[in-house]
Amino acid sequence: MPRHASYIPHGVIPAVLLPFNDDLSIDEASFRSHLRDVAATEGISAITLNAHSTEVASCSFDEQRRVLAVAQDEIGTKLPIVNGIWADGSLEAARIAKMAADGGASALLVFPPAPFTLQQSPEMALAHFKRIADASDLPIIVFQYPLATGQGYPRDTLLKMCAEVPSIRAIKDWSGIVPQHEMHIRTLQSLPRPVNVLTTHSAWLFPSLVLGCNGLLSGSGSVIADLQAQLYRAVQRNDLAAAKALNDRIHPTARVFYAEPFADMHNRMKEALVLLGRLPRAVVRPPLVKLGNAEIERIRAALVEAGLLDGKAKRAAA
């Protein structure tokens, strides 16, 4: 199976969506089209799947394996694929890690196990990540949740994890607090074996990147990967005027995608792709529910404001 050797997670990594049919089965044809569309974006470095954006919590192990297989078939020779690990127990997390390695993934994105507040036990956090690392030789991206959730890793725990689990090569930073985010950037990227900080603060992407992140990993890249890649390049070359102009285009989409309730963010992105003619329908699996017409109209208006949709365009039939 294709795998991109010596891949270190960095740069612009869109997290793709997973289309469903009306009967809630996976719409493979639309998924393949979506993968090709996102993968064709200039300036991206990888693609993430089996994560929040693909509604992984509603997908079985076999479905996750199929999602990876379809992605490998469509884009695996072109781009590294980051496979998410969403599991409440370490044994299942290790099983998914092995599946991902066998399936040709190039890196793992490890979500915190929901029932356990690992921030209160560095030993539990280390045991969890060591078991995953033992099951696979793939580089690991640690998903850093806000500390207030009880599922983020405090500084000392994070540093211990990075020191004792050599395959940890990046974090997906959702700390939500600017000083903590900056500490991650300054500390982790300066380690003897640097650990890249990939921001997922898509609601304030411009200032986050200016702080010095070595990349971004975002579900909104399923819709605006091109704008994100252009913004990242502008910040990298220190062209803040261009970056500000790009941020002005991104802002309307961030405003609607990340509105309350937060859980609907990827639901909204699916509706955006329908409006843009890139998906045939915006079906989500329960407990997510279909958005109402008023919210879909707000998404349409945001796409118009961002210059992504003609103001006269009408929403295609769902």
User: Judging by beta carbons within 10 Å of its beta carbon (0-12, 13-18, 19+), is residue 255 exposed, middle or buried?
Assistant: middle
**Which residue matches tokens 């289309």?**
19
Calpha distance 184→202 (Å, rounded):
17
Q: What pLDDT does 2 receive?
A: 64
For residue 299 the two structure tokens come to 């998404």
Confidence category of residue 266, pLDDT binned at 50, 70, 90: very high
**E strands in 111-167:** 140-144
| CATH of the domain spanning 11-237 | 3.20.20.70
CA neighbor of 139 nearest in space, from 215, 58, 210, 208: 215
H-run or E-run covering 215: strand 215-218
For residue 198, list its beta bridge partners.
172, 215
Q: What pLDDT does 15 receive?
A: 98
How high is the mean pLDDT of the chain?
95
Could you tell me if 82 and 53 are in contact, meaning their C-beta atoms sit under 8 angstroms apart? no
Q: What pLDDT does 1 receive?
A: 57
Q: What pLDDT does 312 receive?
A: 67
Q: Please determine, for residue 116, whether its predicted confidence score (pLDDT) is greater than 90.
A: no
Q: Please determine, for residue 317, whether its predicted confidence score (pLDDT) is greater than 60.
A: no
Confidence category of residue 237, pLDDT binned at 50, 70, 90: very high
Q: How many CA atoms does the CB half-sphere of 292 hold within 13 Å?
A: 2
Q: In what order do the strands lie in the sheet with 11-14?
A: 11-14, 215-218, 196-199, 168-173, 140-144, 107-110, 81-85, 47-49
Could you tell me if 271 and 296 are in contact, meaning their C-beta atoms sit under 8 angstroms apart? yes
Q: What pLDDT does 177 receive?
A: 96
Q: What is the mean pLDDT of residues 247-259?
A: 98
Q: What pLDDT does 121 receive?
A: 83
Calpha distance 196→173 (Å, rounded):
10
Output DSSP code: residue 299: H
Measured CA to CA in angstroms, residue 156 lies from 83, 152, 153, 309 at distances of 26, 12, 8, 46
Could you tell me if 55 and 270 are in contact, meaning their C-beta atoms sit under 8 angstroms apart? no
Q: What pLDDT does 118 receive?
A: 66
For residue 131 the two structure tokens come to 């078991």
Q: Please determine, for residue 70, whether its predicted confidence score (pLDDT) is greater than 80.
A: yes
Q: What is the mean pLDDT of residues 85-110?
A: 97
Q: Please determine, for residue 267, whether its predicted confidence score (pLDDT) is greater than 90.
A: yes
Per-residue model confidence as pLDDT tens digits over 140-198: 999 999 998 888 999 999 999 999 999 999 999 999 999 999 999 999 999 999 999 99
Confidence category of residue 316, pLDDT binned at 50, 70, 90: very low
For residue 81 the two structure tokens come to 């694929």
Per-residue model confidence as pLDDT tens digits over 277-292: 999 999 999 999 999 9
Q: Is the dihedral of CA 285, 288, 290, 296 positive or negative?
A: negative
Could you tell me if 225 and 14 are in contact, meaning their C-beta atoms sit under 8 angstroms apart? yes
For residue 180 the two structure tokens come to 């903590």
Could you tell me the residue ranges of all domains in the chain?
A: 11-237
How many CB atoms neighbour CB 88 within 10 A? 12
